Amino acid sequence: MIHKKVPYHLAVKFISFLFIILFVYAATSKLLDFENFTVQLAQSPLLSAYAGIIAWSVPGLEILIAVLLVLPGFRKIGLYASFFLMELFTAYIFIILNYADFLPCSCGGVLEKLTWEQHLVFNSVFVLIVVGAILLDRSQNLKANSLLLCLLSVVGIGIVTLLFSFSEKKMHRNNAFIRRYPPHPIINKDTLDLKYNSYYFAGSTRDHIYLGNYTAPLQVLRASKDLKDTTFYRINLPIKNVPYTTPRIRIQDSVFILTDGSVPIIHGGDIKNWEIEETINTMGYFTFLEPISTTEFAIRTVSSLNENIILGRIDLYASNKTSLYPEILKGNMDGYFDRDGQLLMNEQLNKIIYVYYYKNEYEIVSTDFKSVKTHKTIDTVRIPQLDIKQQSSSKQKSLGSKTTIINGLSASYGKKLYINTDRLGRYEPKKALEYSSIIDVYNIQNGTYLFSFYLYRHTGDKLLSFKVYGNYIYALIGTKIHSFQIKDKYLNHEK
């Protein structure tokens, strides 16, 4: 009898020792690099919403189980706990590999060097080892041990599945400001030195992008989409002595549109000769304009009644050229700054988009202005934090340094909305903003957050503007224009 028991006890001790080393090493690795471990958990499709709790509980459980395995009286409990934890890890990896959109890593130490497939094999082997140790115990009924292992397995898989379901829902619908950064979603392609930082995006055609110039308002720069070839054009104005203050150029199909909302006036012509062919005084002032078509425009303006920022529509050939829609934008503080934002036009979905600067919301508006949907960004600030200052010498107001900017530069293409922000989310290092700009990506059809990525730049250079054309992002950074290719996997990433 003694000789029969010795191999079993030696096997259990050896397996217990093996798991003690594994858990102590894994827990120590996580705790020594705790900040990075927490950030990695925050990227997980299963654990993002619970990263703060899990970051402490996992290494704590690993150490506790290691202690149970050391104590002979609790070793059996420790083996069952080892099986349960390894089953959780294995189910987690299986779901990550088969159902998740991104493959993060949150292991720590040497294990971090393994691929996810290698992790799955590694964990599966350890699950089989601990199952063998438990079933070798002849002091308990084999059937009872097997049933308990099956029960623990079902519970473990169920827990991981529920975490995946609830975490995904929380991330996409009720996110606690936790971003997901998939690995390398964009590729840096080409760069063109423009020599000046006064350019802005005017529009695009199939093969070219067009840039206007704030300091040379009649000049247009056409660049091939690979940024290899450039051509300068100049718009000829037939009307002289017009008090232009903020002329802007927009390209719509093969037509260029030169506007100035302070006059207000709209010029139009063909990009083949850059000659103005038609001029219309709109009789309605505006601060921003985006073409809906070559004859219809969405505008942002200021109400003459209460100085609230409102949206409107210009139809060049309608009897009443300008229509205003004061009920679309929302804000109950001052009506101006709390509604301030960026006006965009999504040509692919034929939708007008308005992104608020100072709160976590954006509006999706139909081009007839009859349908409006309000969606939220992943930031948590829903009430603008404004530091409004009244100028003593005039009635003008300005924003002070205590104002919090939530959403910055924005662009939209296809089903997606891209928003630049300097607001760091939970678990994000402050140094992230030193060499990069954060871009959050949303699905504008259902209002869900998809993922984020870094737009890298040199220290000191500022992201001035960016646009998305097809599968390329073009960014004006300092005096240069950069192009980045969006990988197909993330270009087609939908929820």
Does residue 414 come out as left (phi exceeding 0), alpha (psi in the -120 to 50 range) or beta?
left
Alpha-carbon torsion (188, 192, 194, 199), positive or negative: negative
Distance of CA 294 to the CA centre of its chain: 32
Mean pLDDT computed over 119-135: 89
pLDDT at residue number 1 = 42
Q: What are phi and psi of 70, to 5 degrees?
A: -70, -35
How far apart are the C-alpha atoms of 399 and 407, rounded to whole Å? 16
The three-point CA angle 128-134-137 to 5° equals 140
Structure tokens at 10: 């030696």
* 373-397 pLDDT per residue, tens: 999 999 988 899 988 887 766 677 8
The amino acid at 494: E
- Flag whether pLDDT at 409 surpasses 70: yes
- Flag whether pLDDT at 284 surpasses 70: yes
Q: How far apart are the first and last CA of the chain?
A: 62
Cβ neighbour number for residue 255 with a 10 Å cutoff = 18
| Whole-number average pLDDT of the chain | 87
* 424-446 pLDDT per residue, tens: 887 787 787 888 999 999 999 99
Please check whether residue 270 is in contact with residue 256, taking contact to mean a CB–CB distance below 8 angstroms: yes
Least confident of 41-50, 169-178, 343-352, 483-492: 169-178
pLDDT at residue number 113 = 66
How far apart are the C-alpha atoms of 171 and 167, rounded to whole Å? 6
Closest alpha carbon to 66 in 16, 21, 126, 20: 20
Cβ neighbour number for residue 397 with a 10 Å cutoff = 14
Mean pLDDT computed over 280-300: 91
Mean pLDDT computed over 231-242: 83
Residue whose tokens read 């992230």: 432
What is the band of 405 on the pLDDT scale with cuts at 50, 70, 90? very high
The amino acid at 488: D
Closest alpha carbon to 326 in 341, 342, 307: 307
The amino acid at 405: I
What is the band of 102 on the pLDDT scale with cuts at 50, 70, 90? low
pLDDT at residue number 2 = 44
Question: Which residues, listed in sequence order, are joined to residue 341 by a DSSP beta bridge?
Answer: 356
Please check whether residue 418 is in contact with residue 472, taking contact to mean a CB–CB distance below 8 angstroms: no
H/E/C letters for each residue in the chain? CHHHHHHHHHHHHHHHHHHHHHHHHHHHHHHHCHHHHHHHHHCCCCCHHHHHHHHHHHHHHHHHHHHHHHCHHHHHHHHHHHHHHHHHHHHHHHHHHHHCCCCCCCCCHHHHHCCHHHHHHHHHHHHHHHHHHHHCCCCCCHHHHHHHHHHHHHHHHHHHHHHHHHHHHHHHHCCCCCCCCCCCCEEEEEEEECCCCCEEEEEECCCEEEEEECCCCCEEEEEECCCCCEEEEECECCCCCCCCCCCEEEEECCEEEEEECCCCEEEEEECCCCEEEEEECCCCCCCEEEECCCCEEEEEEECCCCCCEEEEEEECCCCCCEEEECCCCCCCCCCCHHHCEEEEEECCCCEEEEEECCCCEEEEEECCCCCEEEEECCCCCCCCCCCEEECCCCCCEEECCCCCCCCCCEEEECCEEEEEECCCCCCCCHHHHCCEEEEEEEECCCCEEEEEEEEECCCCCCEEEEEEECCEEEEEECCEEEEEEECHHHHCCCC
What is the band of 140 on the pLDDT scale with cuts at 50, 70, 90? low
Please check whether residue 441 is in contact with residue 416, taking contact to mean a CB–CB distance below 8 angstroms: yes
- Flag whether pLDDT at 189 surpasses 90: yes
Most confident of the ranges 80-89, 101-110, 337-346: 337-346
How far apart are the C-alpha atoms of 239 and 248, rounded to whole Å? 16
Q: What is the reported pTM?
A: 0.76
Question: Which residues, listed in sequence order, are joined to residue 364 by a DSSP beta bridge?
Answer: 353, 373
pLDDT at residue number 143 = 81
Distances (CA, A) of 311 to 267, 300, 371, 460, 485: 21, 5, 13, 35, 33
Structure tokens at 359: 């709160």
Task: State percent of the chain over pLDDT 70.
Answer: 89
Half-sphere exposure of 396 (CA within 13 A, CB side): 4
Least confident of 98-112, 243-257, 408-422: 98-112
What is the band of 3 on the pLDDT scale with cuts at 50, 70, 90? very low
- Flag whether pLDDT at 168 surpasses 60: no
Cis check: omega of the bond before 182, within 30 degrees of 0: no
How far apart are the C-alpha atoms of 140 and 316, rounded to whole Å? 87
What is the band of 45 on the pLDDT scale with cuts at 50, 70, 90? low
Cβ neighbour number for residue 194 with a 10 Å cutoff = 17
Contacts of 400 (CB under 8 A, 6+ apart): 387, 388, 389
- Flag whether pLDDT at 106 surpasses 70: no
How far apart are the C-alpha atoms of 132 and 12, rounded to whole Å? 9
Distances (CA, A) of 54 to 36, 46, 66: 13, 11, 18
Mean pLDDT computed over 310-332: 92
Residue ranges per domain, the chain? 2-173, 186-206+288-491
- Flag whether pLDDT at 474 surpasses 90: yes
Please check whether residue 223 is in contact with residue 211, taking contact to mean a CB–CB distance below 8 angstroms: yes
